[in-house]
C-alpha cells in the first residue's frame, strides 16, 4: 500500500515539509502562510488523497489518538454493548479504540495493560478483574489517564463509572417482597468482584430492613465458571422443603438464564411456586414464559460517561478523580409475580 507522504507533497509543490504540515494542521493562518500557498497545499492534499501517517505523527507528538479498552470478554452482551458506545463516542472525538479481553484473568489483564501502554494508547478504560490492584496503582502513580468501569478498587482513588449494584438488587428484592414473597433467595458468583459483594449486600440489607430472615440456605455463590449441573443442584436445594424459597434474585443475566433452565427441569412453576428477577437484561427475556423481570443496567450511559471522563482527562481539564454511580431501574414482567 504505497502511501503519499508529506515529503512527496513537498517535492511536488516545491514547498517545505514544515509549511505543508502547518497548513494541513490548520495552523496556516496563525502562522501567516499566504492564502495562495495554503490553497495550493490543501488542494493538492485533497487531490492526492493525502492521509497523515498516524504512527509518525504519534511518535512525534507523543500521542496516538488511541484508547485502550480492557474488559473481561467482548463476547458478553453486556460488555459488547458498552464497547459499542465507547467506540462510537471515541470516534466522534477522533479516537480509535483497541480492545482486549482478559477472561477475568489477572495475569492477562496485567499483560494487556502493559501491551496497550507500549502501544502508546493515550488512555485506558478498564473493567478490571479486581485482582490487579498493582497495575492500576502504577497507572495512578504515573498519572496515566484511565477510567475504571463497572469494577473499582475501593481503596484507590480513581476515576470510576459504575452502577448502583446495591440499589439495583434492592429494587428487585423490594419488588418481590411487595408481591408477598418472604422467603427470598439470592444466587450469585463467588466474591472477588466488588460488584458481586455489593449485590449481596443489597440483598442482605434489604431483607433485614424489611424484617425478613436470611437463612444460610437462601444464599448461593457459584464459581465464575460454573456448570449447568451446579446451577441445577443449587436451584434444587433452594426449592426444597423445609427451607424452600418463594422468590429468587439472580445476580447476573447469565445466572438467571441458567437458573430458569434449572427451574424448568425441576418443573417449578414461575412465578406461582417461585418468582424470580434477574439482575441484568438479556435479549429474549421478554419472550421467555413467563417473561423475565430484570434490573435494567445503564450500559449506554456507562459507556458514554467513561469516555467523557477520559477525554476530559486527556485534554488536561478536570483532573480530579470522579466517581459516578449510575442508577438502575426495574423492568417488571411476569416472572416476579406481577401483572
Contacting positions for DNA (CB under 7 A): 3, 5-7, 14-19, 21-22, 24-25, 27, 31-34, 36-38, 50-53, 56-57, 59-62
The binder of 91, among DNA, its own copies, none, by C-beta within 5 to 8 A per type, is its own copies
The binder of 242, among DNA, its own copies, none, by C-beta within 5 to 8 A per type, is none
Query: How would you classify the pairing of strands 219-222 and 184-189?
Result: parallel
The binder of 66, among its own copies, DNA, none, by C-beta within 5 to 8 A per type, is its own copies
Q: Which is nearer to DNA, 35 or 141 (CB)?
A: 35
The binder of 213, among its own copies, DNA, none, by C-beta within 5 to 8 A per type, is none
Beta bridge partners of 281: none
Query: C-beta of 43: minimal distance to DNA in Å?
Result: 14
Residue 88 touches its own copies, criterion: CB under 8 A: yes
**Inter-CA distances, 260 with 159, 222, 268, Å:** 36, 15, 9
Q: Give the span between the Cα atoms of 304 and 147, in whole angstroms.
A: 12
**Inter-CA distances, 237 with 105, 253, 260, Å:** 31, 21, 14
**Which residues lie below 8 Å from residue 77, measured CB to CB, with a gap of 6+?**
253, 282, 283
Residue 213 touches its own copies, criterion: CB under 8 A: no
**Inter-CA distances, 108 with 79, 101, 177, 317, Å:** 17, 8, 42, 31
The one among 19, 22, 101, 129 contacting its own copies by CB under 8 A: 101
- Contact yes or no for 270/235 (Cβ under 8 A): no
Residues that contact its own copies, how many (by CB under 8 A): 56
Site string for its own copies, 135-154 (x = CB under 8 A): ----x--xxx----------
The one among 31, 91, 215, 269 contacting its own copies by CB under 8 A: 91
Query: C-beta of 144: minimal distance to DNA in Å?
Result: 15
Residue 81 touches its own copies, criterion: CB under 8 A: yes
**Inter-CA distances, 12 with 3, 179, 294, Å:** 14, 78, 63
Residue 74 touches its own copies, criterion: CB under 8 A: yes
- Contact yes or no for 148/310 (Cβ under 8 A): no
Q: Which residue has the cell 401483572?
A: 339
Q: Which is nearer to DNA, 59 or 339 (CB)?
A: 59
The one among 6, 23, 70, 97 contacting its own copies by CB under 8 A: 97
Q: Which is nearer to DNA, 117 or 212 (CB)?
A: 117
Residue 53 touches its own copies, criterion: CB under 8 A: yes
Q: Give the span between the Cα atoms of 332 and 295, in whole angstroms.
A: 8
Q: Give the span between the Cα atoms of 300 and 332, in whole angstroms.
A: 20
Q: Give the span between the Cα atoms of 173 and 188, in whole angstroms.
A: 14
Residues near its own copies, by CB under 8 A: 1-3, 51-56, 58-59, 64, 66, 73-77, 80-81, 83-85, 87-88, 91, 96-101, 114-120, 139, 142-144, 254, 257, 260-261, 264, 282-289
Amino acid at each position: 500500500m504505497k502511501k503519499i507522504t508529506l515529503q512527496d507533497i513537498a517535492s511536488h509543490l516545491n514547498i517545505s515539509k514544515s509549511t505543508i504540515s502547518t497548513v494541513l494542521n490548520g495552523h496556516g493562518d496563525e502562522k501567516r502562510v499566504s492564502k495562495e500557498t495554503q490553497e495550493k497545499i490543501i488542494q493538492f492534499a485533497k487531490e492526492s488523497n493525502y492521509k497523515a501517517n498516524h504512527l509518525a505523527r504519534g511518535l512525534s507528538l507523543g500521542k496516538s489518538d488511541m484508547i485502550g479498552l480492557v474488559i473481561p470478554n467482548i463476547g458478553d452482551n453486556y460488555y459488547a454493548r458498552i464497547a459499542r458506545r465507547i467506540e462510537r463516542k471515541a470516534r466522534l472525538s477522533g479516537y480509535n479504540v483497541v480492545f482486549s479481553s482478559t477472561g477475568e484473568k489477572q495475569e492477562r489483564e496485567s499483560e494487556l495493560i502493559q501491551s496497550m501502554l507500549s502501544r502508546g494508547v493515550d488512555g485506558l478504560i478498564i473493567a478490571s478483574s479486581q485482582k490487579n490492584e498493582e497495575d492500576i496503582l502504577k497507572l495512578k502513580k504515573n498519572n496515566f489517564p484511565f477510567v475504571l468501569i463497572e469494577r473499582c478498587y475501593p481503596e484507590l482513588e480513581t476515576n470510576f463509572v459504575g452502577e448502583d449494584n446495591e440499589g439495583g438488587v434492592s429494587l428487585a428484592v423490594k419488588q418481590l417482597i411487595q408481591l408477598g414473597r418472604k422467603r427470598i433467595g439470592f444466587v450469585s458468583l463467588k466474591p472477588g468482584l466488588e460488584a458481586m459483594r455489593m449485590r449481596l449486600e443489597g440483598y442482605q440489607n434489604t431483607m433485614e430492613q424489611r424484617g425478613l430472615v436470611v437463612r444460610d440456605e437462601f444464599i448461593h455463590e457459584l464459581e465464575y465458571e460454573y456448570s449447568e449441573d451446579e446451577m441445577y443442584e443449587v436451584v434444587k436445594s433452594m426449592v426444597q422443603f423445609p427451607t424452600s424459597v418463594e422468590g429468587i434474585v439472580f445476580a447476573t443475566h447469565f445466572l438467571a438464564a441458567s437458573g430458569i433452565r434449572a427451574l424448568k427441569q425441576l418443573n417449578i412453576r414461575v412465578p406461582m411456586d417461585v418468582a424470580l428477577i434477574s439482575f441484568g437484561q438479556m435479549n429474549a427475556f421478554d419472550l421467555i414464559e413467563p417473561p423475565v423481570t430484570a434490573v435494567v443496567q445503564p450500559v449506554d450511559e456507562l459507556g458514554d460517561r467513561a469516555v467523557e471522563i477520559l477525554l476530559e482527562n486527556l485534554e488536561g481539564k478536570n483532573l480530579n478523580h470522579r466517581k459516578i454511580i449510575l442508577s438502575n431501574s426495574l423492568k417488571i414482567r411476569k416472572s416476579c409475580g406481577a401483572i
